[in-house]
Structure 1
């Protein structure tokens, strides 16, 4: 894992409506991801935040889709999938990734991708923003989603990020 080349983002997100959709599996890791997401949104000045908990990462795309339909300016999707001994890992990872990507592209609403796809629990913990972790993917996903909203609003001022008239 490397942060080499990662951008330094300063984000001002006042007025941005964010929905955080978070899976429930791997409670310790999810607690770290959620804490990082909350810190990033607070650091950006985002106060309009709704959190939705779903059972697992497979359910993230449907919850994110409903959030977009309800008017979210950005969605932060958080989940953890740890490789096991069956192909289940591949199916869940692909479904979550493709579902969230398709939603973002179709809707024009940024989706911060905070879904960890790890070979083992140690990798997940190292990315969860917990004490001793090397990365904080919850923080990064939230920051990326808000920064994308802001960038699109600045570049396309006649409509919101989904192309709807203001």
Structure 2
């Protein structure tokens, strides 16, 4: 499991005043419910009160939603949540690469941190193990949100011109 060496999860100091949008894909509802719940727990732990959750059809649409939301200029951090499960065609590779490249581009181009909470799994059990559900080994929704909040706090000290 890839969780070895991860930082401790908990509140992010200085995040209380941040404006955050969580973008969640709709495929794999059980896994997504766990990821969104983990994101909400991280927001609550860090006392973030100005947060909203928006839903997009799938993981492929996360990047365009993040780009539009970041361009609006009224958000300090974005958390992108999705899950792609490997099938028998190359579709998995295309969606994973598009989501990764698209979300990275949004973050670098706009300066708005994007927490990467996209699970790329070989099977359903791997996704369930990372979803933050009862019995899961990891809570990637919480971790992605914590990362976005921490980056936003750090970057607040380096305002854009």
Q: With the length of structure 2 as denominator, give the TM-score of the two structures.
A: 0.95
Tell me how far apart the structure 1 counterparts of residues 147 and 135 of structure 2 sit (CA, whole Å).
23
Partner of 2:140: 137
Tell me how far apart the structure 2 counterparts of residues 47 and 89 of structure 1 sit (CA, whole Å).
35
Tell me how far apart the structure 2 counterparts of residues 47 and 99 of structure 1 sit (CA, whole Å).
27
Tell me how far apart the structure 1 counterparts of residues 129 and 48 of structure 2 sit (CA, whole Å).
26
SS of 1:80's equivalent in the other structure is strand
Partner of 1:33: 35
Please report how far the alpha carbon of residue 4 of structure 1 lies from its aligned counterpart in structure 2 after TM superposition: 2.2
Map 1:7-156 to 2 at 5 A: 7-8=7-8, 10-12=11-13, 13-70=15-72, 71-154=74-157, 156=158
Consecutive unaligned residues of structure 2, counting only runs of 5 or more, are none
Consecutive unaligned residues of structure 1, counting only runs of 5 or more, are none
Q: With the length of structure 1 as denominator, give the TM-score of the two structures.
A: 0.92
Tell me how far apart the structure 1 counterparts of residues 41 and 75 of structure 2 sit (CA, whole Å).
19
Please report how far the alpha carbon of residue 148 of structure 1 lies from its aligned counterpart in structure 2 after TM superposition: 0.6
Cα RMSD of the aligned pairs, angstroms, is 1.1
SS of 1:103's equivalent in the other structure is helix
Residue 4 in structure 1 maps to residue 4 in structure 2: yes
Tell me how far apart the structure 1 counterparts of residues 4 and 63 of structure 2 sit (CA, whole Å).
29
- Kindly report structure 1 stretches of 4+ aligned residues shifted beyond 2 Å: none
Count the aligned residue pairs. Answer: 158
Tell me how far apart the structure 2 counterparts of residues 8 and 116 of structure 1 sit (CA, whole Å).
20
